Amino acid sequence: MERLTFEMPQLEPGWVWLTGAGPGDPGLLTLHALNGIRQADVIVHDALVSDETLAQAGLDCEIVYAGKRGGKPSPKQLDISARLIQLARDGKKVLRLKGGDPFIFGRGSEEALALVAAGVPFRVIPGISAGVGGLARAGIPLTHRETNSAVTFITGHGASGDIPDGIDWPALAAGSPVLVIYMAIKHLAIIRQRLFDGGRHRDEAVAVVSNATLAEEVVLETTLGRCVEDVASSNIEPPAMVVVGEVVRLRDGLDWAGALGGKLLAADPLGTRSAREVG
Ligand code: SAH
């Protein structure tokens, strides 16, 4: 790549680079991801990879879509792994491009293990996960000293299609001040009920961020008590992240993108500092 003072690796024929594409904005690709995208003979991507990101590929690069779109069923995971293995055995330079980070709720580890079993060499290129970078971009920090020293990442959608088994909701409700929930929209009413049952309060702040980091981004600030109804009457569309916790209130001070559009930022969004400190 141009004007870098360090060497970037070569994507060799017969290799698969299992790569995170970040939340959507191509500016949030890593250098390793961009380096791989530019060298690949074939990119096998899922639905969350943005067109702008794919546009970074070379003109001769074959782009293969392997994901869900428009309600059509997705190719079976085994088929995707088999395809990656075949492409590598054909001597292609293969980039498997997945939204966010490949090892967070993305089945990247399953694909990597299939490559291991087949003896196909691979590299893992981490990406910025939507639950981290997508929320930061929207002005929501996942930790803040005055509010929380822990955060939990949860998927709202298990292998069965329902909310996942094996989540100890009472423990999470009691012990995790901030909950970052992927794939939460479909089962938001059930998730909310589990959190109420675990003692979380109706007035607790919630944000729903859809299409984070993209031009179509929508951020809905609401409360646990109102979130299901507010999502239903909003223009929120998947993919969307839900974050529950006090950190959401910091957005009043940290929505830097909103400030570009004229929003006034609060220097003390939690109202915890004395007038002298703020002034
Ligand atoms: N590996 C991905 C997550 C895949 S699961 C990552 O690390 O980000 C798919 C879920 O991720 C979506 O249902 C949504 O909850 C979330 N997601 C991915 N991209 C998103 C985006 N740009 N905006 C909001 N949510 C997103």
pLDDT tens profile 201-236: 999 999 999 999 999 999 999 999 999 999 999 989
**Residue whose CA is closest, atom 2 of ligand 1?**
100
Catalytic residue among 25, 46, 252, 255: 46
Q: Shortest CA distance to 93 belongs to which of 165, 26, 149, 13?
A: 13
- For residue 260, being part of any structural domain is answered with yes
Given a cut of 70, is residue 184 above it in pLDDT? yes
Do 165 and 268 lie in one domain? The reply is yes
Q: Is 130 in the pocket of ligand 1 (CB under 6 A)?
A: yes
Indicate if 197 belongs to the active site. no
Q: What is the pTM of this model?
A: 0.94
**For residue 184, which atom of ligand 1 is closest to its CA?**
15
- Residue 53 sits in a domain of what CATH number? 3.40.1010.10
Q: What is the mean pLDDT of residues 179-189?
A: 96
Average pLDDT, the chain: 94
> Chain-centre distance of CA 73, in angstroms?
21
Do 177 and 205 lie in one domain? The reply is yes
Indicate if 72 belongs to the active site. no
Do 75 and 161 lie in one domain? The reply is no
Return the bridge partners of 205, or none: 223
C-alpha distance from residue 229 to each of 79, 185, 244, 246 (Å) = 38, 11, 16, 20
Do 87 and 110 lie in one domain? The reply is yes
pLDDT, greater one: 70 or 20: 20
Do 122 and 194 lie in one domain? The reply is no
Task: Count the domains in the chain.
Answer: 2
- For residue 7, being part of any structural domain is answered with no
CB burial readout 242-251, b (16+ within 10 A) else e: bbbbebbbbb
Ligand 1 centroid – CA 59 distance (Å):
28
Instruction: Select from 110, 128, 146 the last residue of a domain.
Output: 128
What residue spans of 42-153 are helical by DSSP H? 51-54, 77-89, 108-118, 135-137
Do 86 and 169 lie in one domain? The reply is no
Do 153 and 116 lie in one domain? The reply is no
Do 143 and 252 lie in one domain? The reply is yes
Do 101 and 163 lie in one domain? The reply is no
Tokens at residue 168, please? 């100890």
- For residue 6, being part of any structural domain is answered with no
- For residue 5, being part of any structural domain is answered with no
- Residue 267 sits in a domain of what CATH number? 3.30.950.10
What residue spans of 60-176 are helical by DSSP H? 77-89, 108-118, 135-137, 169-175
- For residue 221, being part of any structural domain is answered with yes
Tokens at residue 22, please? 């970040």
- Give residue 115's domain range: 16-128
Tokens at residue 172, please? 């999470």
The secondary structure of residue 216, as a DSSP letter, is T
- For residue 77, being part of any structural domain is answered with yes
Instruction: Select from 77, 112, 128 the last residue of a domain.
Output: 128
Catalytic residue among 25, 41, 92, 183: 183
Do 155 and 216 lie in one domain? The reply is yes
Q: Torsions phi, psi of 123, nearest 5? A: -125, 145
The alpha-carbon radius of gyration of the chain (Å, integer) is 20
**Residue whose CA is closest, atom 24 of ligand 1?**
240
Q: Is 240 in the pocket of ligand 1 (CB under 6 A)?
A: yes
Report the C-alpha gap between 156 and 187 in whole angstroms. Answer: 7
Do 122 and 135 lie in one domain? The reply is no
Indicate if 162 belongs to the active site. no
Q: Is 22 in the pocket of ligand 1 (CB under 6 A)?
A: no
Do 214 and 86 lie in one domain? The reply is no
Burial class (CB in 10 A: 0-12, 13-18, 19+), 153: middle
pLDDT above 90 as % of the chain: 87
Instruction: Select from 128, 144, 171 the last residue of a domain.
Output: 128
Report the C-alpha gap between 94 and 155 in whole angstroms. Answer: 28
**What's the pLDDT band for 159 if we cut at 50, 70, 90?**
confident
Given a cut of 60, is residue 273 above it in pLDDT? yes
- For residue 9, being part of any structural domain is answered with no
pLDDT tens profile 16-58: 999 999 999 999 999 999 999 999 999 999 999 999 999 999 9
